[in-house]
């Protein structure tokens, strides 16, 4: 028998824990859900409405208001005092966190969990074709929605196949909950079949992890895991559940308090006015200020736009911060760093005030640390105290939520206009406009050959810069960062800190699940694409309309570029991905992979074919692969060599000029 009860889980406010709140609706005679009810639920429509579960998916801590997240029906199959398996408790715990989709690959040690999933009326269970594809898909879901992604795998190799994705989520601050089956408790540590201590393996690449040793702890552990994943600096949490715990019968206590007092004490308080006033004073005294924004600003686009509107300060973005501020705005300097624009790096080099919001001063941005922003006073706002002063010592710092900090500074400026009375950065903006004119992002054009940058510009034009774009890692990733003009946060899904090839295709899969009405395009390179190409099968079976724009140069292009520029010319170290015995023939034939999975595909080799082909790709219902053959001699420029400074920037050259 099904039993319906009532509670509501609102989204998290900054640095606070949300507990379940009862929501009784006996007076309601009709209710229209914000999303379609599953057929399983509809078959029990005779049940009274006054016992319906409601919940809201948990968003990361600096999210919008709870009302912006739709409520979801929860259907309990058990009476309150009815014993049920630990696996069923786990699945209902996920439902109570607002989980509606998981990416799960079954196995022996996780079989009970997957069986419980089949009994859920709420959760869509997507089967990836590899556990790494599953964790990357969960990342794509989280990055594109702001909701925590969930993946499930079995013990042993299933669990270890999650490792790359967990490390990626940690380095890029992605809220993720990974659940692994484990051998029974009595077999752990005895070299049993598929017995791997995954908690120990992942300890340094997760925000926290759990080994469940008592079935009664499951409700609390799941609540803690989602809170940890989404609060403070988001990150991955792993829950390892032995098989005998999954099978054990228990009556769950859904009102267990969390036990995170030590962690809660580390969460920063809302920033006070003293350092914020100091920041505003520095702005008023500055002549050449620059905003340097990162992934920590993705949840604060409105506050950032208002801050820029009030101050008129130009904005440079990290790779992970793209979209936090519209790339096509006149005050945008686009990306800075190793492959950033000349004018963004020029601005930082010449600035007298660097406002670093939600960033970590990583070496791909700074190059030689001593030379980075050497003329500037530095302001650093970040939610993670570990990042403050770790790489670059700030003059003023605030450890806190950048959203709250900008909200307060905006209010202070609006209430006290004299704080910005002396701010006139028009001369500075004119200087930077001159750099934009002198060093625009550009590329060589050819009569027939397809410049990869051109293909991305066409995609940007046809989607009006509003598609969700995922990428693998390599040259294509940097070209997208340079030439696709992202207008909003969460449009840009890429592996930044870890640089994991194979990310793009499964991430797009997760993004489509989270955003079924959006245009989602995986712009990939042939090297990265091959690393998780098996997910074409999942995309086809699940009928996910992922569009794949494959920039195929038959090489590991970024490695090839570095071989040419920094090593002995012409010495190739297995960077060619084709078959040397087949001459110029494209190998492997990517169209055949798509065809094998029932996905329509086409290939273009001439520049004049590109626009029509991309338009057809976008207009085709369902998934589609477009294989765009590009010359392998193309370089990603500008380039500041690793450990270099702005003075070392390379703006010209390609593989043709090197031959």
Instruction: List the catalytic residues.
Output: 131, 193-194, 243, 558
For the record, the structure tokens of 575 come out as 């960077």
d(CA 42, CA 436): 58
From the list 635, 651, 638, 614, the residue with the least C-alpha distance to 476 is 635
Q: Apex CA 486: angle with CA 481 and CA 491, to 5°?
A: 95
From the list 90, 95, 159, the residue with the least C-alpha distance to 131 is 159
> Strand pairing partners for 492?
469
d(CA 345, CA 366): 9
| Core vs surface per residue 592-629: b (16+ CB within 10 A) or e | ebbeebebbbbbbeebeebbebbeebbeeeebbbbbbb
What is the H or E stretch that residue 468 is in? strand 468-471
For the record, the structure tokens of 447 come out as 């009569």
Separation of first and last alpha carbons in the chain: 74
From the list 413, 365, 414, 417, the residue with the least C-alpha distance to 391 is 365
- A 10 A CB-CB count for 506 gives 32
CB 480 within 8 A of CB 517: no
Phi-psi region of 222 (alpha: psi -120 to 50; beta: other; left: phi over 0): alpha
Where are the alpha helices (H) located in 146-240, listed in sequence order? Answer: 157-160, 163-171, 198-201, 218-230
From the list 188, 168, 185, 207, the residue with the least C-alpha distance to 295 is 168
Residues 6+ positions from 248 with CB-CB distance below 8 Å: 85, 86, 215
How far is the CA of 218 from the CAs of 91, 140, 225, 241, in angstroms?
A: 10, 26, 10, 9
How far is the CA of 648 from the CAs of 348, 353, 642, 651, in angstroms?
A: 15, 22, 10, 10
Size of the chain, expressed as the number of residues it contains: 659
SS (HEC) of 570-637: CCCCCCECCCHHHCCCCCCCHHHHHHHCCCCEEEECCHHHHHHHHHHHHHCCCCEEEEEECCCCCCCC
CB 480 within 8 A of CB 549: no
CB 134 within 8 A of CB 495: no
CB 141 within 8 A of CB 149: yes
Give the CB-side neighbour count of residue 267, counting CA atoms within 13 A.
Answer: 21
For the record, the structure tokens of 375 come out as 């003329």
């Amino acid at each position: 028998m099904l039993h319906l009860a009532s509670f509501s889980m609102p989204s998290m406010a900054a640095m606070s824990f949300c507990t379940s709140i009862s929501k009784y609706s006996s007076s309601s005679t009709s209710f229209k859900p914000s999303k379609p009810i599953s057929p399983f639920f509809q078959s029990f429509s005779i049940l009274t409405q006054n016992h319906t579960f409601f919940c809201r998916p948990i968003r990361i801590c600096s999210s919008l208001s709870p009302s912006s997240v739709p409520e979801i029906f929860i259907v309990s199959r058990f009476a309150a005092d009815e014993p049920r398996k630990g696996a069923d408790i786990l699945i209902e715990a996920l439902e109570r966190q607002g989980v509606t989709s998981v990416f799960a690959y079954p196995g022996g040690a996780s079989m009970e969990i997957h069986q419980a999933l089949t009994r859920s009326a709420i959760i869509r269970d997507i089967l990836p074709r590899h556990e790494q594809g599953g964790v990357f898909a969960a990342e794509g879901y989280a990055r594109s929605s702001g909701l925590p992604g969930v993946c499930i795998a079995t013990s042993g190799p299933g669990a270890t196949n999650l490792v790359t994705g967990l490390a990626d989520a940690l380095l890029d601050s992605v809220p993720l909950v990974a659940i692994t089956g484990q051998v029974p408790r009595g077999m752990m540590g005895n070299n049993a079949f598929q017995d791997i201590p995954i908690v120990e393996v992942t300890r340094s690449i997760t925000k926290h992890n759990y080994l469940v040793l008592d079935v009664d702890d499951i409700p609390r552990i799941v609540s803690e895991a989602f809170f940890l994943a989404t609060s403070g600096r988001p990150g991955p949490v792993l829950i390892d559940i032995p098989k005998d715990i999954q099978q054990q019968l228990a009556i769950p206590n859904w009102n267990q308090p969390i036990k995170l007092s030590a962690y809660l004490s580390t969460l920063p308080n809302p920033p006070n006015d003293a350092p914020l006033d100091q920041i505003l004073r520095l702005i008023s005294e500055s002549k050449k200020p620059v905003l340097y924004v990162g992934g920590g600003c993705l949840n604060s686009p409105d506050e950032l736009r208002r801050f820029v509107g009030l101050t008129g300060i130009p904005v440079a973005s990290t790779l992970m911060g793209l979209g936090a501020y519209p790339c096509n705005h006149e005050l945008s300097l686009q990306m800075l760093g190793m492959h950033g624009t000349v004018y963004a790096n020029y601005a930082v080099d010449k600035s007298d005030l660097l406002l670093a919001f939600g960033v970590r001063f990583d070496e791909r941005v700074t190059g030689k640390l001593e030379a980075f922003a050497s003329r500037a006073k530095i302001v650093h706002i970040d939610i993670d105290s570990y990042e403050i002063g770790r790489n670059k010592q700030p003059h003023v710092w605030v450890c806190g939520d950048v959203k709250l900090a900008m909200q307060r500074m905006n209010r202070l400026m609006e209430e006290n206009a004299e704080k910005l009375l002396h701010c006139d950065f028009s001369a500075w903006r004119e200087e930077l406009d001159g750099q934009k004119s002198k060093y625009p992002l550009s590329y060589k054009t050819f009569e027939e050959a397809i410049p990869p940058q051109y293909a991305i510009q066409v995609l940007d034009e046809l989607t009006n810069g509003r598609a969700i774009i995922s990428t693998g890692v390599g040259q294509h990733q940097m070209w997208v960062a340079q030439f696709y003009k992202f207008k909003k946060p969460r449009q840009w899904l890429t592996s930044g800190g870890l640089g994991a090839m194979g990310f793009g295709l499964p991430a797009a899969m997760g993004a489509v699940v989270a955003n079924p009405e959006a245009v989602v395009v995986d712009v990939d390179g042939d090297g990265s694409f091959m690393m998780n190409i098996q997910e074409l099968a999942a995309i086809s079976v699940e009928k996910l309309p992922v569009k794949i724009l494959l920039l195929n140069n038959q090489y590991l292009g970024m490695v090839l570029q570095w071989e040419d520029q920094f090593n002995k010319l012409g010495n190739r170290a297995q960077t060619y991905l084709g078959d040397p015995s087949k001459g110029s023939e494209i190998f492997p034939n990517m169209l055949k992979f798509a065809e094998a999975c029932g996905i329509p595909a086409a290939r273009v080799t001439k520049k004049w074919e590109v626009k029509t082909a991309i338009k057809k790709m976008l207009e085709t219902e369902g998934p589609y692969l477009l294989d765009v053959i590009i010359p392998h001699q193309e370089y990603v420029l500008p380039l500041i060599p690793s450990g270099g400074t702005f003075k070392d920037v390379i703006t010209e050259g390609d593989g043709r000029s090197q031959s």
